[in-house]
Structure 1
């Protein structure tokens, strides 16, 4: 909670101070200079009106939270190019009649957020090849997390993305939590579950809860129990601190979310499993690496972080100990860890620090780590 207080505090300060700064900066565009002449106070008022109008238009076309994201990116680029222009003026001793700071900042904001929108809305495939000393033969697993049904895409949109995953012909599909959002609609999540029920993965579909799935933060037209029930009706295995041996070859262990105080310690959850079998763990939040690396787990799959979402938030979250890893692969002791950036998003329309993805993991017997993380 203290991390969110810090983030919200920083956003508030950025909005307040940024509004003052941008109002002054926007007043330096040529058109406003011509309209207001030497009346600096009028240019600042006009600049404020332009900033306010831009924010309101962005909020109307997207949402308030996305308007804030657009505002903060614009502010950041104005500050960056303002510094660059100051340095250049000091070096050359000359200014320019063209307001390069403003034009370059606007262009950089448009290009960055256009790429961020594309990165969020267009799902890519991310592949890993892992090896293990255990006798598993070969296993092709598909994994995704953070679909937040109804946010980035609805039930039909999810079904289209699912077709791409099924085309990879994985042996098993694993879902790492936040399947739905606090504001998802029943018709969308039911359609998404039906799409999962119509797939043909030899070892089925396995799912763990994320922090949004329980729907504790908003009213919606279905409950967590409804989610469990509809998933079960469609043949989806809901795992809540449970383990299953599949085909006598490997285990799937699904943990309750970190936000659930009743969840078991990883050592207790895996206690009693055959250590000669490969153990694959689903854990929505990547925040228990030390204990999981000391356990019998061979592979831990997580989501939750959205890959850090915006640069450089992935590094900030790591420094604040919000999670053990924002994105990608690492190996600790004898355990492989993979964090996905998520197949979708929640309320945001942009990913500037990562891309939406589903994950394909090919696991085979061999020398551990020799092909990990490709």
Structure 2
């Protein structure tokens, strides 16, 4: 994988060799083969660390590359009409793409930290004895974008919504979370005030299976969650108030049973709420008469234009938001935080408040 990415970065290296040479030529206009070699070596040192596509440096390099290309095209169009000495100087110094990257990354950081409370109303033909308010949190990836005190404040904000029960949709912690941070996370989440419990499903990152030396084992994670009175639903279900069946799937990255197997002893008269970290098997679950599926995982396309490209190219079954199928309704959250780096330019950070009610 790294070898392939390295090959793909060769055109980027060549481009930045000319980019740095253009900057140097502003101060030393005379062409020099030695300077060209130096610029190429600088470009290699600048670009090569970006072969780790999920690194923060890759974000900087690729955005600078994109903004530089865009600037080149704009300057070419301007030069076709009229040359401007001041604008030419700014362009040769490479300041325009640098400024654009700084603005974008600054916005990405602020946007990531700005968490929204998003409301959905789900109506069902099934008769419920009351309206239910459900809080849904996914993709926290603690502590990538917030500290313990900030998390506690969000938990307090959710408590003020008076949810009947709370759903934790996976990737609450990940490979970068320390043992102490993992313990602090579930201690904080357990303080959310509710009527009927807090329920959790595994994501693909929670158990730190991608780390060579994880800070905690899956057993310690499970023990910590349960010690904080949070119920783990791993291919399991639980009945709430004798009229809602909450079905929690293990993540699709693990070996798991089918949804149909989980419905064997479930009453079809209940409102069937399925929680799956990844928004998958939507058609199957719809055919099985699931009433509502809630998922996360996609981050709504954390970095622009990932979300748009996913939709256009058909990657995944659903990227973000609400969808009504022939029977089932689906809600996919972009998550309360994000993975990899504390930046979000393609979506918003959010937790969900889902109101479930019978049709009047």
1:125 has 2:149 as partner = no
Residues 110 and 355 (structure 1), Cα distance of their counterparts in 2 relative to 1, 3 Å cut: same
The corresponding residue for 2:250 is 256
Aligned partners of 2:34 and 2:334: how far apart in 1? 46
Q: Which structure 2 residue ranges, 5 or more long, are not aligned?
A: none
Alignment of 1:214-233 (within 5 A): 214-218=207-211, 219-233=213-227
Alignment correspondent of 1:100: 91
1:160 aligns with 2:150: no
**Counterpart in 1 of 2:162?**
169
1:169-193 CA-partner distances (Å, limit 9, x unpaired): 2111101111110231111111121
- Pairing 1:1-374 to 2, within 5 Å after superposition: 11-13=5-7, 15-29=9-23, 32-39=24-31, 41=33, 44=36, 47=39, 65-90=55-80, 92-94=81-83, 96=85, 97-100=88-91, 102-136=94-128, 137-218=130-211, 219-261=213-255, 263-318=256-311, 321-366=314-359
In 1, distance between residues paired with 2:56 and 2:91? 26
Distance 1:88 1:195 in 2: 55
> CA deviation digits over 1:314-340, x for unaligned, max 9?
233345554211111111111111111
What is the Cα-based RMSD across aligned positions, in Å? 2.6
**Which secondary structure state, in structure 2, belongs to the residue aligned with residue 345 of structure 1?**
coil
Note if contact 1:287-1:322 (Cα within 8 Å) is conserved in structure 2: no
State how many pairs are aligned: 353
Q: Is the 8 A contact 2:302 2:338 kept in 1?
A: no
CA distance in 2, matches of 1:68, 1:168: 39
> Does 46-55 or 197-206 show the bigger shift?
46-55
TM-score by length of 2: 0.89
Distance in structure 2 (CA, Å) of the matches to 1:238 and 1:146: 16
Instruction: Write the deviation string for residues 179-218 of structure 1: whole angstroms up to 9, x where unpaired.
Output: 1102311111111212223332111110000111222121
Identify if the C-alpha distance between structure 1 residues 232 and 264 changes in structure 2 by more than 3 Å, giving closer, same or farther.
Answer: same
Quote how far apart the aligned CAs of 1:158 are. Answer: 2.5
User: What is the alpha-carbon distance in structure 2 between the residues aligned to residue 333 and residue 41 of structure 1?
Assistant: 67
Distance 1:215 1:22, change over 3 A: same
The equivalent residue for 1:371 is: none
SS at match of 1:74: helix
- Cα distance change, pair 166–43 in 1 and its aligned pair in 2 (3 A): farther
Q: Deviations over 1:267-298 (max 9, x none)?
A: 22123322222111110011211111111211
1:160 to partner: Cα distance = 2.8
- Compute the displacement of 1:28 (Å): 2.4
SS at match of 1:150: coil
Matches of 2:121 and 2:8, distance apart in 1 = 42
Q: Which runs of 5+ in 1 are unaligned?
A: 368-374
CA contact (8 A) 2:169 2:276 kept: yes
CA 143–221 in structure 1, closer or farther in 2 if over 3 Å, else same: same
TM-score with structure 1 setting the length: 0.86
Write the distance in 2 (CA, Å) between the matches of 1:347 and 1:37. 41
Q: In the aligned structure 2, how far is the partner of 1:55 from the partner of 1:161?
A: 38
